[in-house]
Chain A
Amino acid sequence: MRRRAALTALAAAVIAGVAACAPSTPGSGGGSTGGSGGAAATADRLTIGTTADVVNFNPLVGNSRTDSWVTNLMYPHLTQMDETGKRIPYLATEWAYSKDGKTATVKLRDDMTWSDGKPVTAEDIVYTIDTVKKEKFGVVAGLITAYDKAEVVSPTEIEFKLTRPDGTFLHNIGFWMPIVPKHVFEKAPSVQKFANDKDWVSAGPYKLTKVERGQRYVMERVEKFGPAPSGTPGVKEIVFRVFPDVNTEVLALRNGDIDVIANVLPPATAVSLKGDSKIKMMEIPSLGWAHLQYNTKRKPLDDVRVRQALAHAVDYEAIRKIALQGFAKTSNSSVLTPSQPDYFDPTMKEYAFDVNKSKELLKQAGVTNLSLNMIYDQADPNIAKWAPMVRDSAKQAGIEIKLQGLERNTYIAKGSKRDFDIYAGSWAIMDNPPANMALAFKTGGFINYAQVEDPKLDDLIDQGQRALSPAEAKGPIQEAAKLIHEQVYDNVLYVETFNIAHSTKWTDFKPMPSELLSIVNPLSLAQAKPAP
């Protein structure tokens, strides 16, 4: 009897202990546990699944996908992208270049305010771009090398002075640069070290109200948000829930615990979900491409015939059909993909998979027993599937490719040091061919992994960058793409068709190209609504 009492006391103590240990429980307003569950969806809450936490709430520093999804809803950009990749107004209403291309002017909306009531003005934009330039923040810093200084013409108008004509400047800052509140960020001694982890002052369609790391991020709509089609975002509350394992995330969607999966699903998972009547799959084009890059500084890869031999030893169609399960399109071996209608060149032809031609080219180059290493990120489910296919097809041409599937950080480090023969990877977003080509193929370019040094190509890219409109840039950029194709400075394998899944209880999402925008971009979430 005494023992039973003791056991009961022990059990009670364990439960009480567990309860006492419980971290503070949130208690936000109504709605369901997570997604819409079995009931019909209401516009009260939309729950979005993601595979990672927000790492940094400072939009100028954070560089993960979840960082972008959350901070994009908090910090406006000058422009946004439509379904075709075209720039459309957001914070900016008009933009133009001067005739000499050395001055860019932007006019702003006058109805945007920060969440602390202060207006969003030209001062904020100037502060943001100057900070990016001064502290050299990642991608944006690399894209504004022509930027000299900015002048505030009025609270809603800015003039950017450029050191050289650059028709990609507005395109780049419009899309890539989130605007931060000067009056908040300037108080930080170093913006790079500013965590921005509480008391957020934002101006997007949603404001962040609660953070439970490892679990969820709760955002409430801003009742008056001019850029939303109806002036107010449709959904009252957006919740990002974190599922580090994509399989669990998919189960949560199937169970109704979440309404949307923000990240792109691997092709095999997408195929398995197609028959589920409760799930709608949306296909969005990638703005990037998957490719093989050959290190032109290493022998015998400095010989174009060897690079061509390698290009003819890849079975492109098999990769798209088998590894990507059909969720990929050809780009005709061109860096101007169909996702770029302003620049796409239909005359380009994909390298034929022809092992005899490959052998012949190697013979002409006097190369025998060719053996090369190929690095790739082993955690990338697509590349992990097609890397062995590249190896096997090359073997038919008598080329040995040694696969080096690496842990992501090692892969990035090796790529950055150009320590490889063949680099297998993919670009996530190549949204502006003149600017992208400058980074990827110009001598000394930031992401010139193949270490291309070709004065003719540099000149063509420069012409493209100086042009102030896509129509003007198209000629030299198409010429540049042809040169890249002939010289095999890049071997584009495919453009992926991304699969995004959401519950059929929701509708009216506005998909945009690239995983970074997906269907969780500000414009899409501002107009999404429960299905009738």
Chain B
Amino acid sequence: MRLKFIGVRLLRGLLTLWFAVTVTFFLVRLLPGDPVLAVADPNMTEELRAKLLADFGLDQPLMVQYLDYLRQLVQGNLGMSFRQSLPVTEVLMERLPWTLILTMSAMVATVVIGIPLGVLAATKARGWADRLIQIGGITAQSLFVPSVGIFLLYTLGVLLGWFPIGGAIDPDATGFAATLSMLHHLVLPCLSLVLIQLGSYVLTMRSTLMEALGDDYVALAKAKGVRPSAVVWKHAVRNALLPTTTIAGIQLGMLFGGAVLTETIYAYPGIGRAIYEAVGQMDFPVLQGAFVLLAAAVVAANLLTDIAYGFLDPRVRTA
């Protein structure tokens, strides 16, 4: 039963990945412009243009290009970058660790800060703390990464001098100092991502917990004389966490989206920036490769969430 459940989820994940790959493949080719123009002089001869198109494989019919790409992908080959004349895997693998560090730390920080804030708001419902948290949560949802980024860089970086302006690490630091430098550089971009995401966690946690606090089992626990904090954290929060877990899965995709802007503003060398650059350069293979990697990460995270859900809540497993 359990194996069948995992198998079905795995199959669904692969199907999602194929769909994402297909949509991306055709979407990048809908971009207006000509990738050859991004590589060579716009006024190149027809001969050179034809040669470049053939080199890039763009002279083939679209379906042939698509099947070739799928064949390459199955073999783990993401192709060659048009502009950099390098394997896409090499281009992206250099960037991937930075994006993982940024997004994962932002996600952990959001959960660690968001859940207690949601609990505080729910348990002090309609009090001043609740109102403050709600206003903050709604405001955070409407924040725009570049504005937040420049504001944080100017105030905490230039004026107060607490954090470096852009970059990911001090090039001269080695050993443990390098790790500290990396964490130091991580604070502002991570904070930006946390700020734009926090609202949905806090507000979801607040509403689901308020609902849970009105349930019969909570009334029973209170009647049995369980301490109020234990009632909240041991009984109600556990049940209220399930919808928040769902949000975490959905937010992962948004987090990667936010990383494009965050990495650009903070000069952070991750995949988001590689996407930003590849769009400008019409480097289809890099764009496709980056989207495949990100889609695979989101699918894998959702798969793990599904499986974890299945173990935590038997109703899901048999559904």
Which A positions have Cβ atoms within 8 angstroms of B?
Answer: 14-15, 17-19, 21-23, 25-34, 52-53, 55-56, 58, 61, 63, 135-139, 141-142, 192-195, 197, 212-216, 218, 239, 241-245, 247-249, 251-252, 254-255, 257, 406-410, 412-413, 415-416, 439, 446-447
Contacts and interface: CB of A to CB of B under 8 A. Distances in A.
Contact of B86 (A32, A141, A195): A195
Nearest to A25: B178
B212 interface: no
Given A22-B182, A214-B274, A255-B157, A413 B97 contact: no
A27 B161 CA distance: 24
Contacts of B33: 407-410, 412-413
A257 B166 contact: yes
Given A195-B85, A214-B95, A19 B281 contact: no
A138 B41 contact: yes
A248 B55 contact: no
A251 B154 contact: yes
Contacts of A22: 97, 101, 169, 178-179, 182
A412 B35 CA distance: 11
Contacts of A249: 166, 267
Interface size class of B (residues with CB under 8 A): 35 or more
Nearest to B282: A409
B192 to A, nearest CB: 12
A136 B43 CA distance: 11
30 contacts: A23-B97, A27-B171, A27-B172, A27-B178, A28-B172, A29-B172, A31-B172, A55-B83, A55-B84, A56-B85, A58-B85, A63-B41, A136-B45, A137-B40, A141-B45, A197-B85, A213-B269, A216-B171, A244-B267, A248-B149, A248-B150, A248-B165, A248-B265, A251-B150, A251-B154, A251-B166, A409-B280, A409-B282, A412-B33, A412-B34
B41 A413 contact: no
A276 B104 CA distance: 39
B98 interface: yes
Q: Which 10 A-B pairs have the closest CB atoms?
A: A214-B269, A409-B33, A138-B41, A446-B43, A195-B85, A410-B32, A25-B178, A252-B165, A27-B174, A19-B179
B269 A409 contact: no
Given A138-B41, A413-B33, A446-B43, A244 B167 contact: no
A245 B91 CA distance: 21
Contacts of B264: 244-245
A324 to B, nearest CB: 24
Interface in B36-84: 37-45, 47-48, 51-52, 55, 83-84
Contact of A214 (B45, B98, B153, B158): B98
Given A213-B269, A255-B157, 9 more contacts: A23-B98, A26-B171, A30-B172, A55-B84, A136-B47, A193-B55, A406-B32, A407-B32, A409-B31
Contacts of A194: 85
A427 to B, nearest CB: 12
Contacts of A138: 40-41, 44
A195 B174 contact: no
B166 A248 contact: yes
Interface in B5-26: none
B158 A215 contact: no
Given A18-B105, A31-B172, A58-B85, A215 B167 contact: yes
Interface string B174-187: 10001100110010
B137 interface: no
A120 to B, nearest CB: 25
Interface string B272-300: 01101100111000000000000000000
Nearest to A67: B83
Contacts of B182: 18-19, 22, 25
A521 to B, nearest CB: 22
Contacts of A243: 166, 267
Contacts of A28: 171-172
B183 A409 contact: no
A53 B267 CA distance: 11
Contacts of B37: 409, 412-413, 416
A139 B267 CA distance: 31
Q: Is the interface of B mostly helix, strand, loop or mixed?
A: helix
Nearest to B105: A18
Contact of A408 (B98, B158, B280): B280
A412 B157 contact: no
Nearest to A139: B41
A439 B42 CA distance: 13
Nearest to A213: B94
Given A33-B164, A138-B44, A245-B146, A193 B38 contact: no
B168 A215 contact: yes
Nearest to B266: A248
B219 interface: no
Nearest to B94: A213
A33 B97 CA distance: 22
A47 to B, nearest CB: 10
Contacts of B146: 245
Given A23-B94, A138-B40, A214-B274, A195 B105 contact: no
Contacts of A61: 39, 85
A55 B171 contact: no
B40 to A, nearest CB: 5
Contacts of A406: 32
Contacts of A197: 84-86
Contacts of B105: 14, 18
A15 B101 CA distance: 10
B269 A413 contact: no
Contacts of B171: 26-28, 33, 212, 215-216, 218, 239
A375 to B, nearest CB: 12
Contacts of A446: 41, 43
A252 B45 CA distance: 42
Nearest to B179: A19
Contact of B173 (A25, A31, A415): A25
B100 interface: yes
A216 B178 CA distance: 16
B43 A447 contact: yes
Contacts of B32: 406-407, 409-410, 413
Contacts of B31: 409
B277 A53 contact: yes
